[in-house]
């Protein structure tokens, strides 16, 4: 081989806005890639200096001054290895107009030698890049130790144009840096798209992705390298930080040979989703400086799965649970909550809500006179529990993890300021049927969730003999209707045409639409579907639009 380079791939879990400490991490990885792997070049992810997405931090002049300062520090601090990094850059023209770009840059010999402005700016789903950035319009191709490298950023590889432009200008290898968030099946989908693009232009691609949780988003990493035939020759781990290397050599016929050092197998779908939930919880709690979490462990499936995720994310010492029984709480629920807490080795408290419920009802009796008991009394129970959890949180510094699943959040089957209280929700984007599947999957690792929790009929236990199906369609019917309406934007007539009862479809759609106000007040939670409540789906609270079943 006439030319050969060793490229390091750095999958770093950075913190949005923590520019100085992010640069420290990049320096650390660069030194490891240089000293331990003898790499010539280290490739980091999109916006690695700031973390992705920095959102309206990009509106602050002081933030850009910090980025420029730390970019210069990075240039001066690293020697003996070159870097490709991503960052935002604000530029002011001679006429005083300013532009902002999502940049990728080559750092060599203590300065930025090559710079690329991202061309394709995503503005759908969770992305708002056109709110902040201007689009670039030209390729960035440069000679690197005898090999022509083309630099691109994330969305550029999903569309026709930027990659072709780079290849037309002589790129023999595409470097694509990414902040690509996870949803179920995203890893396979992403790899398929990139490999197909590489095959079409007959050019290898080095794909480096961010890893870690950022508010509702989880970035899965899963960086990889594919050759010009679209075959993956190097696959890194998902949902964890990692550093690896691939060797790229130019052969006598001028073609490139790529030799990877890793081939990590892909996780099964349930394992991948579960790992995303664990990573999202871990990073939200740790990056926001909480000492741990507290959960209301009811003996039901949602709190059982949430508690298990929390222990896997944070360790048993950092998870406390409180069982808050009332006269409608079954002995089975009390027993199962205790058994799970014991199996997980976590601190378990029992605080009855009956005295505080009685006190509330007694104080409210004069103004409730003449009214029959209804959902109000059920909500008071939930709010007693919410008050208890928040008091414990305030006193101990442990954040409340709320436990509502996506099915409940969709139709408003939850109590504001009651079971909805909390700082974060591990299963906010997990439909009820998937909650059960994840619980069964987790028990294959170690049986910590009691079998009765999985097999018994779900109930809020807010009145005698209550079960969820008293108020909602069976979850096996409800969840598919919600997926079609919420995630796929199907009109009611199409949902009915797929075989779902018109009465159920009408009821579910009415509940979804009228409970937008609740979802706006809900805690953020891990996104694992293509359309989660929050950044993905933005509907008005006040709306006169009412879709009808034909």
Distance CA 515, CA 420 (A): 13
89 an active-site residue? no
Distance CA 45, CA 208 (A): 6
Distance CA 251, CA 36 (A): 26
Q: Which of 89, 118, 406, 432 is catalytic?
A: 118
Rg of the chain over all Cα atoms, to the nearest angstrom: 26
Distance CA 85, CA 103 (A): 8
Residue 387's alpha-carbon distances to 353, 358, 459, in angstroms, are 10, 15, 21
Distance CA 183, CA 181 (A): 7
Distance CA 320, CA 292 (A): 8
Q: Which of 39, 154, 226, 490 is catalytic?
A: 154
Q: Whose CA is closest to 525, among 310, 376, 315, 260?
A: 310
Supply the DSSP string of 92-109, one letter for each residue.
E-TTS-EEEEEEEEEEET
Q: Whose CA is closest to 183, among 145, 155, 147, 222?
A: 222
46 an active-site residue? yes
Residue 548's alpha-carbon distances to 412, 484, 490, in angstroms, are 19, 15, 12
Report how far apart the first and last C-alpha atoms of the chain are (Å, whole number): 68
Q: Which of 6, 39, 46, 483 is catalytic?
A: 46
SS3 content of the chain, % helix, strand, coil (to 5): 40, 20, 40
Strand, coil or helix: 77: helix
118 an active-site residue? yes
Mapping DSSP onto H, E and C, the string for 341-359 reads HHHHCCEEEECCCHHHHHH
Q: How many residues does the chain have?
A: 550
* Residue positions annotated with a catalytic role: 46, 118, 154
């Amino acid at each position: 081989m006439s030319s050969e380079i060793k490229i390091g791939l750095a999958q770093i879990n950075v913190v949005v806005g923590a520019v100085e400490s992010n640069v420290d991490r990049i320096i650390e990885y660069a030194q490891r890639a240089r000293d331990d792997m003898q790499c010539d070049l280290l490739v980091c992810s999109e916006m690695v200096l700031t973390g992705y997405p920095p959102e309206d931090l990009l509106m602050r002049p002081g933030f850009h001054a910090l980025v420029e300062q730390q970019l210069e520090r990075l240039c001066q601090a690293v020697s003996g290895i070159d870097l490709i990094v991503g960052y935002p850059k604000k530029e002011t023209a001679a006429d005083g107009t300013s532009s902002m770009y999502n940049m990728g840059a080559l750092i060599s010999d203590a300065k930025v030698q090559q710079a690329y402005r991202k061309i394709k700016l995503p503005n759908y789903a969770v992305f708002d890049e056109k709110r902040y950035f201007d689009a670039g319009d030209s390729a960035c191709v440069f000679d690197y130790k005898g090999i022509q490298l083309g630099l691109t950023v994330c969305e550029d590889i999903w569309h026709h144009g930027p990659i072709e432009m780079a290849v037309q200008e002589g790129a023999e290898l595409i470097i694509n840096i990414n902040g690509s968030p996870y949803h179920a099946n995203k890893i396979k989908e992403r790899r398929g798209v990139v490999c197909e693009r590489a095959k079409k232009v007959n050019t290898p691609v080095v794909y480096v992705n961010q890893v870690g949780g950022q508010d509702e988003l989880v970035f899965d990493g899963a960086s990889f390298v594919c050759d010009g035939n679209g075959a993956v020759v190097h696959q890194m781990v998902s949902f964890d930080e990692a550093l690896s290397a691939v060797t790229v050599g130019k052969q006598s016929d001028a073609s490139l040979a790529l030799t990877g050092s890793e081939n990590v197998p892909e996780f099964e779908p349930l394992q991948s989703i579960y790992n995303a939930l664990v990573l999202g919880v871990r990073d939200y709690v740790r990056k926001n400086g909480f000492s741990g979490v507290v959960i209301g462990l009811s003996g039901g499936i949602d709190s059982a799965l949430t508690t298990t995720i929390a222990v896997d994310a944070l360790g048993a010492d950092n998870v406390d649970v409180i069982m808050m029984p009332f006269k409608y709480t079954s002995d089975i629920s009390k027993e199962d909550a205790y058994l799970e807490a014991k199996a997980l080795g976590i601190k378990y408290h029992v605080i009855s809500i009956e005295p505080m419920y009685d006190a509330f009802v007694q104080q409210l009796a004069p103004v409730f006179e003449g009214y029959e008991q209804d959902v109000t009394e059920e909500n008071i129970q939930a709010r007693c529990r919410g008050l208890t959890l928040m008091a414990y949180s305030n006193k101990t510094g442990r954040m409340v993890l709320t436990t509502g699943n996506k099915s409940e959040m969709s139709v408003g089957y939850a109590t504001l300021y009651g079971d909805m209280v909390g700082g974060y929700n591990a299963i906010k984007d997990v439909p009820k049927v998937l909650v059960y599947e994840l619980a069964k999957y987790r028990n294959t690792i170690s049986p910590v969730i009691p079998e009765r929790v999985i097999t018994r009929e779900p109930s809020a236990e807010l009145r005698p003999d209550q079960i969820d199906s008293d108020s909602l369609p069976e979850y096996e019917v409800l969840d598919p209707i919600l997926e079609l309406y919420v995630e796929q934007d199907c009109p009611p007539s199409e949902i009915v045409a797929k075989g779902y009862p018109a009465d159920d479809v009408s009821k579910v759609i009415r509940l979804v639409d009228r409970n937008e106000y609740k979802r706006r007040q809900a805690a953020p939670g891990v996104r694992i579907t293509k359309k989660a409540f929050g950044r993905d789906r933005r509907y008005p609270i006040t709306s006169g639009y009412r879709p009808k079943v034909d």
